[in-house]
Amino acid sequence: MIGVQEKPFSVDAVLKSVADPKAGAVAVFIGTVRKEEGVRALDYEAFDEMAVNQLENLRDKAVKKFGLAKVSIIHRKSRLRPGERVVIIAVSAPHRQEAFKGCEWLINELKKVVPIWKREV
């Protein structure tokens, strides 16, 4: 599962998408809107086609770099309020070390290269 969408994502569906009998570990990162003084919400916008392409490229690189079995990444776009989920990254791998490292690398790279922007409200 790779995508950019307005509606909330299902954590269960994302977890099922990375299930693999050869994987002994699944790591998940879920980013949420944090409460900050003076900020009521965050507006997320994306260049959808390019964002999905970049997410697919990141997935492919992470699979090779960390030996991951499966990767799913969903990022939301719309107005999101504190506590709402923004992004989920789930990876499966033969061992936990690869899963943790791959998941961390993916969120860091996503923030650098994927054309998704946020604006405080």
Domain ranges of the chain: 2-120
pTM of the shown model: 0.95
Between β-strands 70-76 and 2-5, what pairing exists: parallel, antiparallel or unpaired? parallel
Q: What is the pLDDT of residues 47-99, one digit of tens each?
A: 999 999 999 999 999 999 999 999 999 999 999 999 999 999 999 999 999 99
Residue 61: the pLDDT is 98
| Region of 67 on the Ramachandran plot (φ > 0 left; ψ -120 to 50 alpha; else beta) | left
pLDDT band at 111 (very low <50, low <70, confident <90, very high): very high
Return the CATH fold of 2-120: Aldehyde Oxidoreductase; domain 3 (3.90.1170)
Whether the Cβ atoms of residue 74 and residue 7 lie closer than 8 Å to each other = no
Q: Compare 91 and 38 and report the one with higher pLDDT.
A: 91
Average pLDDT, the chain: 97
